[in-house]
Each structure stands twice: as structure tokens, then as C-alpha cells.
Chains A and B, each alone.
Chain A
Amino acid sequence: MQFVITEEQQMMTDMVREFLAANCTTAELRALAETGKSHDAARWSAMVELGLPGALVGEEAGGLGLAPQDVIGLVTAAGAALLPEPLIETMGITLPALDQFGEAALLAQVMAGEAQVALSHPAAPFAEGADSADAILIFEVDRVLLCPAGSATITPQPGVDPLRRLFAVTPGPDAQILAEGEAARAATDHAQEIGALFAAAQMLGIAQRAIDISVAYAGERTQFGKPIGSYQALKHHLASAQVAVEFARPVLQAASAMAASTQDAYTRARISHAKYVCGRAAETTAQTAIQVHGGMGYSQEADVHFYIKRTLSLRNLWGTETLHRNRYAARLETLAIGPDTLFNQEG
């Protein structure tokens, strides 16, 4: 029993956090949004250079061979930085699936930064950045398809987040079937688990960042001759937000440590738990951040609006809050409960 982040895991997180602090500032994101795009080619190349998209792909296939718990810190950092490029989906779902279904050539191209594959899934149906992708990986309930971009019909679905360009996707005749039946259902289920786990991580990152920028703002902004952060009402709002973060983090970490296999019912319940509490934490903190920023919080002048908008999407992607709470409730009703079951896994 060692519930601690290893030194290697911490180094990985720190490396990505530093990279994002230097290359993914909100000023850069604003500039990107102005251009009408949601991906920055130079930043993507740099992440490819670091080997990040292939982090979960085995070393024999050219990846880093890491497990979900090794990257959960970097996914959290990407959430905090509001990273707009599809690193998390590519790393967590798309490339492991291409590897699993023997699409070695396309896998190698994406890991080399020569191709982009967008993603559509029943729990995250609108493919982000599909207009600039070379292919779209489409998970259906009992089919997995790979569709060349030219063969798919994509329809823009404008949304609230300026850095998410969403498209409804209809596969065309050239779509290739990667899996059907039981194999497809297993792959689609697994993708949803990883999607939920990584959405949770991104929301935890958003939650902490929303607190941090609010603390900074409350220290600078003065009213009645004092920094507003000296008033107890604001302190208590932000302290409550921090409590939500503190008790979401260990759930997320435990879920990531269990997620090497997502078949297990205890693991799935823990992923649901993580998605639920990280979503709640992000929502609470992003709302608190708006309140702390006052009028600025309701404007696009301050950065705070980015966090509530990203939270809005992540909370509902990869299973809504209600779905995950119901899944957790079902676990209570069907599996062993009690203090000695905290780290249970089946088999």
C-alpha cells in the first residue's frame, strides 16, 4: 500500500506543467481564438517532440509505454492550462485504439506529427477539430470505424467554448470497420472509462487554477481601502472551494491507479466517483471564481470565463453527472461495501 506519486510521475507532471506555462498562456489562447482556429501547429509539434501523444502506447510500437496513473498529473496540468489541442483524447483513446486494431501506419504518422485523427464517441459525439483532421475515429455502440476525412460528412456545431470547434460526423462509404460486436462494445466501453477519468483530471486542474487566479485577483483588487481577499466572506468561499479540490484529488489518483484495466466493476465505480466529484469541484470553483472577480468575472476581459466554459463541456462529456452518480449508486447496491472494501478489485 503506497498511495504516493512516484518521483518519475512527479517529474513527468512538472515537465509538462513547465512546458504549458511557457507555451500555453491564456494570452496565447486568446490570440489563437481570434484567428478562428482551435489548434496551434507549433505547440502540437512540440508536444509530439516530447512523445506525449504516444504516452500510453507500448514501447514496441514507438510509444512511451506508460500507464494511466503515470500521466494523470500531466492531464490535470493540461486541464489547468485549458490546452486546446486534442492531446488528451489522442493520448488516452485514439492512439491506444489504433494500436489495438493494428493501424500501425496511421499510428506512426500521428506519433510523428504527420497526421491528426479526430474522435467521436456516443459519450462525446461531436468531433473536436474534425475540419483539420486527416481521419476520424468513430466509436459506436457496437462498431468502431476509421473514416478518412474526405469521406465523412461533418457539420459544424457552434458552442460556447471558443477553443472547441465541434462537428457532428456522419461516416461515408470509405469508412473502414475496425471492430464489430463484442470487441467493439468492449473498446467503446473502455474508451468511455478513460475519457471519463481524463475529463475528471482536467476538471481537477481547472478547479485548482480557478482558485489560484481568484486568490491572486483578490489580493490585488481593493475596496473600502483593503484588498478584497482580506474579507472573510471571500476567504470562506475560496476555502470551501479548496476543500472540494482536496477531497476530489485522492479519488482521482486512486481511480487512475486502478484504471490499467477498466473491466472491473469497482474500478468503474471509482472512475464515476472521480468524474462526479472533480466535476462538482470544477463547477464550484469556477462559479466562485466568477463571483470573486465581480463584474470582471462576467466579462471576457478576465480569463475566468474560459474555465466555466470548459467545465461546462467536460462535466457532460464521457457520461453526465447523473449517469456517473447512478453508476456509483448501483455499485453500492450490488458490490461489497464497508471499510475493508476501499481498495477492492474483482478477480
Chain B
Amino acid sequence: MELTYTDAQRAFRDEVRSWMRDNVPATPLPSFDASREGFEAHRAWEAKLNEGRWGMVTWPDAYGGRGLDLIRWLIFEEEYYGARAPLRVNQNGIFLLGPTLMEFGTEQQKARYLPRMATGEEIWAQAWSEPQAGSDLAAVRAKARREGDEYVLSGHKIWSSRAVYADMAFGLFRTDPDSERHHGLSLILFPLDAPGVTRQAIHQINGEHGFAELFLDEVRVPAENILGAEGQGWKICMATAGFERGLMLRSPARYQVAVRALVALAQSRGDDLDPVLRARVAEAAMGAEAYALSIYSTASRLMAGGRIGAEASTNKIFWSELDIALHRTALDILGDRAELHPGASAAPDAGNWLDGYLFSLAGPIYAGTNEIQRNIIAERMLGMPRK
């Protein structure tokens, strides 16, 4: 183990830091889930990032990236969050579909989709879940029928993040009408403004509409929009889910920056801070640090030729539970003002803790519920009997 950055890695950090200092908007952008205006402001930020070639630093140069390794990706993320840069409106694209395309897409698909993803020209939503297919994703019923050079899509998708304003979606469809469960499924890309697509916003716990229901009625897309072969959809989705639960979805820096704010909040209470709250601040900080160390260790292992397996499920449980504990601690420090919005005159230090807390409650649910993750850990990591 050699836990020091090289001179080149330090120089890279300086380069990111200086670009962020010059370019990150001084006032936070309006939420991308609350209005078209906020969504478009974030799209403009993605374009700006891309101008600096910071859109997705691990991608090959040809697709708008810099071809950097995972340690530099972590350094980039640390500086990105450290600079309080805007959240990535295209995270479903760049962190989920992007890596999936690189592994399973054709050369034409990569050339067609990846550069536009990197610039924010096309912002992506995920269309997997259905009313009857949540944790039990293999119960998907939406159909794709092949007609000549086209697929015709029909069905009902739900909990589709960003779909209210996004441009494109990657959906899971049953291409073999006689198939059951995880057989006969395919991953197909479709425009959200295609004739036959109806989007209906769902109001989330925080009042925003971060996800939508999608009603697809005979939506026609070119047959070349299939990712991988017909019937390969389940396998590809599981690989995508691996990226989601593993390294890419939640940067450690996100929690480390939140901890920095939590410590500042705690210190603003001075000697009045209850020792139990001090202990909880320390535990939250330890959690963020442990997560970061774990991701550095995984990144090093992957760079040495390893692969990510079922242990990705432990990541997802850990960061989602950490996020709740961290925000709960902040709210408990705020005490009787925890329920107030940041605009309230009695809560000058409310910050984003309330919003962050509400958002953290979704963590154990999305990207595969923590119950499903625990089953995966028990059965695939520990080898416990399925039946």
C-alpha cells in the first residue's frame, strides 16, 4: 500500500480546482426537478463542463472524455463536490447508460450517443420499473414488437427519474411475447418526445417532480435502438445495476463535503453542543471516511485488473444508511428549527439539511432496495441457501 498522491495526481487536482474556481456558478442553480428553467440551467452547466472537457473524465477522448483512471476520477469528484458545483442532471446517462454503452453498444451507437451525452445535448432517464415490477424487475410487462426496421413499444413505466424534462430514455421491454421472467427481455433506447409517449409527473416527498410515469402507446423507434442483442436485456441491466451500486452512483466526496458542513454546524454551537451529538457527528464523519477509503481501495483493485462483484451491494447499503444518519444528526443539532425551510427568518443556519434529509430517505429504496441488496450479499457473497 502506498497512500500518497503522485506529483502528477496533485497537479491534476490543482488543475480541476482552478477550473472549478473560475467556472462554478456563484449562486446555486434552481433545482432541475422543479422547473424547466432549472433543468435547462443544468443542461447549460453540462455544456460548460464539456467545454473544459470535464464532462466525464474517465471516458475515452473520442467521446468527449480524457481517458483518465479511477484515482483521477475520484480526485475530480473531490474537487467537484468541494467546489459545490451543480448536481449532474445527466447522471442516469453518464454514470449508468454511458458505461453500459461502452460495454455492450455497437461502434455506431457509441458514436451516436456518447458525445451528445457528454455535452448534455441529450439528457437521459431510466425506464425500467413498472407498477407491478419494482424490486421484482423480472416481472416487466411492457412490450416491444418488431415490425420491419422498427420496434413498436407499449406499456406503463414508473419512477423514471428526470423523465419529466429529459430527452431520451433507456427502457426494459419484453421482446419475446411468450417469454417469462428474466428471459426474452431487451434494452431499447427511445426519445421521450416520440409520438405515443405520455409523461405524467409524480410529486415527490419534497414537492418536486423528480420522476414521472410514462405511458407508451405504440411508440415507433428504429430497430437499431436496441442495446445488445434481443433477449440480452436482463444481463445488460444487471451490469448497469452493478455500475449503479458500485463506484459511480454516489461519490464519496458527496458525503465528505456534507460532513464538513455538519462539523461547521456542530462547531457553531460551541460548548453548548451535547456530547451525544458530538459523538454522532464523529460517527457520521467516520462513515464518510470509511466509504471514501473503501472506494479508493476498490478503485485500486479495479486498476490492478480486478472486477466488481456482489460487494457493490454493501456500498449501496452503507452510503444510503450513512446519508440518513448524517442528515438526522444535522437536524437534531438544529433542534426545534429543523422543520423550517431555509427561507424561514428563524432558521438562518438551516442550510439544505431538511431537503437533504428527505432525499436521503429515498436512498434505501432506489437502485434496488436495501432488502434486495441484503439478499444479494447473503446469497452471493456469503453463499447462504436461496431456498
A329 touches B281 (CB 8 A): yes
- In Å, the complex CA distance between A342 and B3 comes to 10
Question: How many angstroms between the C-alpha atoms of A232 and B290 in the bound complex?
Answer: 27
Which residues of B sit under 8 angstroms from A239, Cβ to Cβ?
Answer: 317, 373-375, 377-378, 381-382
Looking at B253, B281, B287, B296, the one whose CB has the most chain A CB atoms below 10 A away is B296
Give chain B nearest CB distance to A139 CB in angstroms: 27
- Asked whether B384 lies within 8 Å of A340 as measured between CB atoms, the reply is no
* In the complex with contacts A325-B283, A333-B267, A2-B1 CB distance below 8 A: yes
B81 contacts which chain A residues (CB < 8 A)? 339
Query: Chain B interface: which of A20-28, A101-109, A252-260?
Result: A252-260
- Given A251-B289, A325-B283, A243-B377 contact (CB < 8 Å): yes
- Asked if B382 and A332 make an inter-chain contact with CB atoms under 8 angstroms apart, the answer reads no
Within 8 Å CB of A215, what residues of B? 382-384
Q: Please indicate the chain A residues that have their CB under 8 angstroms from the CB of B386 in the complex.
A: 230
**A230→B385 contact, CB < 8 A:** yes
B371-A242 in contact (CB<8A):
no
B259 within 8 A of A: yes
Contacts of A254 in B (CB 8 A): 1, 3, 293
Q: Judge whether A329 and B4 touch: CB under 8 Å.
A: no
Contact B4 A1 (CB under 8 A): yes
B311 interface contact, C-beta 8 A: yes
A338–B255 Cα distance when bound, in Å, is 9
> With A and B bound together, what is the CA distance between A238 and B252 in angstroms?
25
> What is the bound-complex CA distance between A218 and B385, given in angstroms?
9
Known contacts A247-B314, A338-B256, A329 near B377 by CB under 8 Å = no
Complex interface residues of chain B between 255 and 314 (CB less than 8 A to chain A): 256-257, 259-260, 263, 267, 278-279, 281-283, 285-287, 289-294, 296-297, 299-301, 304, 311, 314
How big is chain A's contact interface, by range? 35 or more
One of A3, A236, A273, A326 near B296 (C-beta < 8 A): A3
Stretch in B5-13, B151-159, B208-216, B324-332 with 4+ CB within 8 Å of A: B5-13
Contact indicator B384/A235 (Cβ below 8 Å) = yes
Q: Is A227 an interface residue (CB 8 A)?
A: yes
A276 and B286 within 8 A (CB): yes
Q: Are B382 and A1 in contact (CB under 8 A)?
A: no
Tell me if B103 is interfacial: C-beta within 8 Å of chain A: no
A50 CB-CB contact with B under 8 Å: no
Assuming the A-B contacts A3-B297, A246-B294, A339-B78, are A328 and B285 also in contact, with contact meaning beta carbons closer than 8 angstroms in the complex? yes
A314 to chain B, nearest CB (A): 18
Q: How far is the CB of B280 from chain A (nearest CB, A)?
A: 10
Q: Please, which residues of chain A bring their CB within 8 A of the CB of B15?
A: none
CA of A257 to CA of B1, assembled, Å:
6
- The smallest C-beta distance from B108 to any residue of chain A, in angstroms, reads 37
The verdict on B33 contacting chain A, using a C-beta distance below 8 Å, is no
Q: How far is the CA of A249 from the CA of B282 in the complex (A)?
A: 18
**Is the beta-carbon distance between B82 and A332 smaller than 8 angstroms?**
no
Contact: B297 with A1, CB < 8 Å?
Answer: no
Contacts of A343 in B (CB 8 A): 3-5
- Bound together, the chains give a CA A325 to CA B290 distance in angstroms of 14
Most buried by B among A273, A326, A339: A339
Query: Knowing that A243-B318, A342-B78 are A-B contacts, what are 17 other residue pairs whose CB atoms are under 8 Å apart, sorted by A's residue number?
Result: A1-B6, A1-B71, A2-B1, A4-B304, A215-B382, A230-B386, A238-B378, A238-B384, A243-B314, A250-B293, A256-B1, A325-B279, A326-B282, A328-B286, A339-B79, A342-B289, A343-B4
Q: What 3 pairs between A and B have smallest CB-CB spacing?
A: A235-B378, A339-B78, A239-B374
Sample 8 A-B pairs with CB under 8 A, ordered by A number.
A3-B3, A69-B1, A229-B385, A236-B375, A239-B374, A239-B378, A251-B289, A254-B293
